[in-house]
Amino acid sequence: MQITIENLCKFFGKVKAVDNLNLDIADKEFVAFLGPSGCGKTTTLLMIAGIYKPTSGYIRFGDRVVNHLLPKERNIGMVFQSYALYPHMTVFDNIAYPLTLKKVNRKEKKQRVQRVADMMGIGELLDRKPGELSGGQQQRVAVARALVKEPAILLFDEPLSNLDAKLRLRMRGEIKRLQEDLSVTSIYVTHDQVEAMTMANRIAVMNHGILQTYGTPNQLYEYPDTLFVAGFIGSPPMNFLKIDLEQEGDGLYLVRRELKIRLPEEIAAQVKPSVVPSQVIMGIRPEDVHIVPANEGDFDAEIYVVEPLGREDLVSFRLGEEEFRALTPAPFKGGVGTIMGLNLTKEKIRLFDPDTGNSVLKSNK
């Protein structure tokens, strides 16, 4: 089922929870709504579900506007953060509840519940109550209840946030595989960028009710449209540095007291002429910063702290009043206070307008 969102707004009094949202979600696509708490992602999901009514704008399933339809008329399955299971019912009855409301006959109900329970790996737990299950098993019951309706659209509202890290990792893979096997259009709300990056075909990043960007995980990671997206996507986050952008001869340079870097031709060619010369914010990810001996890199900096991460170490440097981080293979031998050189992978440099926060490079989408 294709979903189209046109100029969608939701206001709670004077608060703009969702402001003029436009999105196209293709049939069978898995899309994540990503952003911090209060960004509008769950409000958007609840409007798609029919639980909230839009203040203005349209939601289409295929060619049909569904703004006026009740949730039960939208053929959706929804999985909540809290599982929302009935504690007095068995697993069977919890899964079968949507079919009971539709008055599906007993034989068909039993077959459909058993089939979806086996698919979720809980076929032997149908006689238990939710209180007798682990968190992961309860989440599987919640997913099974959404699937038993055979919905055209699956909606997930931060379904893994109550699970421990190991179980979250396992369930992440199971939900992704399930969506691919069923080929059902799915929307997944999360504040965890790792979940969004690993599960979704495309990601809609939101902040303060406004869509920041919409694209594939690789597009968002490699070519962020805004400072917010650049800082929100990726762990550890991107380094940012205020710096002057200057034309010198036929070259374009990043200039600051500690450094002077000529931009590669492929990056310089993308810079919009209206921003030269000007101060910009340079962004580069820690994995694209390489530690070398002092006086042998693009600039020198003092080691501030070393954080072991297992296979890699995250090394933070002081550059004036700012921190600059590099990921390096473990174990890193440098000590705190040591002056080291830093080399940047120039092709990975990204540039942003300090006033608007927008990229000053031409879009690569």
Note whether 175 and 90 are same-domain residues. Answer: yes
Examine residue 252 and state whether it is found in any structural domain, yes or no: yes
Whether residue 156 is found in the same domain as residue 11: yes
Domain end position, chosen among 172, 197, 231: 231
For the chain, what percent of residues have pLDDT higher than 70? 99
Could you report the per-residue pLDDT of 174-208, keeping only the tens digit for each? 888 888 888 999 999 999 999 999 999 999 999 99
Phi-psi region of 69 (alpha: psi -120 to 50; beta: other; left: phi over 0): beta
Instruction: Count CB atoms within 10 A of the CB of residue 94.
Output: 25
User: Token digits for 68?
Assistant: 């006026």
pLDDT band at 364 (very low <50, low <70, confident <90, very high): low
Average model confidence (pLDDT) for the chain?
91
52-68 confidence digits (pLDDT tens): 999 999 999 999 999 99
231, 263, 289: which is the final residue of a domain? 231
- Whether 94 and 170 map to the same domain: the answer is yes
List the single range of 38-42, 268-272, 342-346 with lowest mean pLDDT.
268-272
Residue reference for tokens 């939710």: 130
Strand stretches in 208-338, DSSP E: 210-215, 239-248, 251-256, 259-262, 278-284, 289-292, 299-308, 312-319, 322-329
Please report whether residue 314 resides in a domain: yes
310 lies in which domain range?
236-352
- Answer whether residue 365 shows pLDDT above 80: no
What's the CA gap between 250 and 235, in Å, rounded? Answer: 36
- Sheet with 299-308: list strands edge to edge: 289-292, 339-344, 299-308, 312-319, 322-329
Evaluate if residue 363 carries a pLDDT over 70: no
Is the pLDDT at 221 greater than 90, yes or no? yes
Looking at the structure, tell me whether residues 134 and 268 fall in a common domain: no
- Round to whole Å and give the CA distance between 259 and 279: 14
Q: Residue 17: which of 63, 53, 50, 67 has the closest Cα?
A: 53
Query: Which CATH number covers residue 244?
Result: 2.40.50.140
Closest CA to 22 of 211, 205, 292: 211
pLDDT higher than 90, residue 119: no
Can you give the pLDDT at residue 169? 85
